[in-house]
Chains A and B, each alone.
Chain A
Amino acid sequence: MAAISADNHGLRLATRYAVLTLIAIIFIFPLVFMVMSSFKPDLQLLRDTSSIRAFLPVGDISTDNYAAAFQRAPVGLFVFNSVFVTGVTVLLSLLLCSMAAFSFVFLNWTGRNVLLSIIIATLIVPFETIAIPLLLLVSKLPWIGLEGFTVGWLNSYRVQIIPWIADGLTIFLFVQFFKDLPRDLIEASRVEGASWWQIYTKVVMPLSGPVIATAAILKFLVMYNQYLWPLIVVQEETYRPVMVGLQYFFQLNTAWGEVMAYLTIITVPVLAFYLVLQRAFIASIASTGVKG
């Protein structure tokens, strides 16, 4: 009986590993293809697509595509722009949305439930439907900066950052997480004389590592993958992000090797960001059931 149980356990384990390996292969192979292809000349790359060679570093391997990619487009500038816009937006979004969620969960004020419902309802509104009205709005907005008073936010970092700071999903994530925090903690802090600001900064946020990681990663991906919005509000190369920059590589005869090299380069910040927050992200999924 014990032997049968051990066999079953072994079989289950083997099955589980087989399934996980298969899933891993499905997810990893496109990345392997991308990286391997980035080292191959175009003709070889295209010919290899019909065989297993597409996933192997074989044939005429070189870093020429990387050199050519940097020559074709200001890759470093595009990566900097995206990382800067994404980083600032993520930080401001975490701050603003967590404060909004704190207010919804812990403060008593009239209409908060209605307002929260409205904010959550915005999740079903596709961005494409508000893109043009938003474009018209930002093109007329005033701004006071180093250059003085100006009208219109086009061609700037702020136009890529500010409209994206507050969003329903991030607020919703924080609200759900805050609701699960022990109320006793908050009430004890109030009894001890802590202000709401102190409770937010000293009690709630230090406990919110998992949801911060989740919200940060989700926001990071949304911002880093921005295409439509920067396409319509940025006409100067100086402020162009990586996804719009990708279009530089699609010419009459597309240089596929350079495309793969560029994609490999712009994937690095995403991987790095995920690896940094990986542990907290997984903890968040495990504790809240939130899926990325």
Chain B
Amino acid sequence: MKLKATLVAALLGSTGFAGMAAAQTDLTLWYHGGGNTVERDIIDSIIADFNGGRSDWSVSLEAFPQGSYNDSVVAAALAGNLPCILDVDGPVMPNWAWAGYMQPLPISDAALEGHLDSTIGRWDGEIYSVGLWEAAVALYARQSTLDDLSLRTPTLDAPWTGDEFMAALEAAKASGNYEFALDPGMAWTGEWYPYAFSPFLQSFGGDIVDRSTYQTAEGALNGDAALAFGEWWQSLFTQGYAPGTSQDPADRDTGFIDGKYAFAWNGNWAGVATLDGGVEDVVFLPAPDFGNGSVIGAGSWQFGASGTCEHPEGVAAFVEHALQDKYLAAFSDGIGLIPSTTEAAAMTENYAEGGALEPFFSLSEAQALVRPVSPGYVVAAKVFEKALADIANGADVADTLDAAVDEINTDIERNSGYGH
């Protein structure tokens, strides 16, 4: 009798489980964090929690290395092989949405309450993607350097003006204690250039494209403000304040820690490594204000639904699940990025009040400006990168910016305005 009951229970259990498994619709998630074991463990745990607690959806993960992720997605889109859930870099999202690789995400407003605005990807009036974290850039310095050079410590409310910033660089250069006064990070190429350096242009009053129409870069990238920016940018190299495009990548990684540079323009992801490297009095300063406000770049990786996904509501359910503060905090503690809510920040080791990287959260809140929200950004970004490298290498500022404007405008025309 006991054996019979056990068999019946086992049968019911197994069929019940099978029934539940069969009812779950599997959604594949493509993720850019292949090779990051910490990130992988956290995303695995989020998926395990999601799959264990639902009868309607399940998610399976396919991880890609970040360096080749975008190319893989574009190739898969061409071959009609996209998954349901896509991971997308914030500034790339409009391009993928415009190209049909992504569709609007039917997520509730309540799920996004309190999130940093720059972590929400909007295109054409709709939400397409949502991020679990943000990144921010700051001017790294040693408090002892500021004291030795008798420099005022800039704050969010009172950042350095452009003149103060240049005076600081001059003081560092004149001290003779450093190989270069500033490390802008020229050894890093690709998206680093528009992400890290276009905020300087915006602070001067220019931009990569004219955001009022997104139909031209004329005036924005070659107007008076942009020319002033270009001249300033070139002076960093011609006057010996910063290493040029031939900077040794090793120096980019360790130069500030080793004391070769007085200041470094770097992201929050390098903060812990800097502290671990022995720079205990490191301070993270806001971007200088060149007349049009103090600005830093914004927009990091986000989740969204692919254009071919038949279950966007399942994607939204997963994203809402992943947006819980405990996961945001886990990601932040694991990989050092800025959680997208104040509540999650308070739960973290580095971004809670008094945490080593707390200033970055405030920087994100106060100064973040997303890169141009346009499908054409992916092309404009490359043009901008080349222009800045050329100017750093001594090219004529006006000619270079005019050529960049022509190239960006031609691309916009070829794509019929990119749907703006």
A: residues with CB less than 8 A from B are 42-43, 46-47, 49-50, 71-73, 132, 135-136, 139, 152, 154, 231-233, 235-237, 244-245, 247-254
Contact = CB atoms under 8 A, between A and B. Distances in A.
Nearest to A71: B37
Given A43-B277, A46-B250, 10 more contacts: A49-B250, A132-B78, A152-B79, A231-B71, A232-B76, A245-B65, A247-B34, A248-B34, A248-B35, A251-B66
Contacts of A73: 34-35
B68 A247 contact: yes
Given A136-B79, A231-B71, A233-B75, A46 B36 contact: no
Contacts of B313: none
B23 interface: no
A247 B269 CA distance: 19
A252 B34 CA distance: 12
Interface of B: 30, 34-37, 62-68, 71-72, 75-76, 78-81, 248, 250, 253-254, 258, 267, 269-270, 273, 277
B68 A139 contact: no
Task: Specify which of B72, B75, B76 lies most central, judged by the most chain A CB atoms within 10 Å of its CB.
Answer: B75
A1 to B, nearest CB: 55
Nearest to A49: B250
Contacts of A46: 250, 253-254
25 contacts: A43-B254, A46-B254, A47-B258, A49-B248, A72-B35, A72-B36, A72-B37, A132-B78, A136-B78, A139-B79, A139-B80, A152-B79, A152-B81, A231-B68, A231-B71, A231-B72, A232-B75, A232-B79, A235-B72, A237-B62, A244-B65, A245-B65, A248-B65, A249-B35, A250-B67
Contacts of A72: 35-37
Contacts of A50: 250
A43 B254 CA distance: 7
A contact face: mostly helix, strand, loop, or mixed: helix
Contact of B35 (A232, A236, A251, A253): A251
A139 B78 CA distance: 9
A275 to B, nearest CB: 30
A250 B64 CA distance: 12
Sort A-B residue pairs by CB-CB distance and give the 4 closest, nearest first. A248-B35, A247-B65, A232-B75, A139-B79
Contact of A237 (B34, B68, B273): B34
Contacts of B68: 231, 244, 247
A50 B269 CA distance: 25
Given A139-B79, A235-B30, A253 B253 contact: yes
A47 B258 CA distance: 9
Nearest to A73: B35
A252 B66 CA distance: 9
Contacts of B66: 247, 250-251
Contact of A235 (B62, B250, B273): B62
Nearest to B255: A46
A247 to B, nearest CB: 3
Nearest to B69: A247
A46 B273 CA distance: 14
A251 B36 contact: yes
A236 B79 contact: no
A127 B18 CA distance: 47
Nearest to A47: B254
A229 to B, nearest CB: 10
Given A232-B72, A248-B34, A252-B269, A154 B81 contact: yes
A237 to B, nearest CB: 7
Nearest to A231: B68
Contacts of B62: 235-237
Contacts of B76: 232, 235
A129 to B, nearest CB: 15
B310 to A, nearest CB: 18
Contacts of B277: 43
A12 to B, nearest CB: 40
A47 B35 CA distance: 25
B297 to A, nearest CB: 14
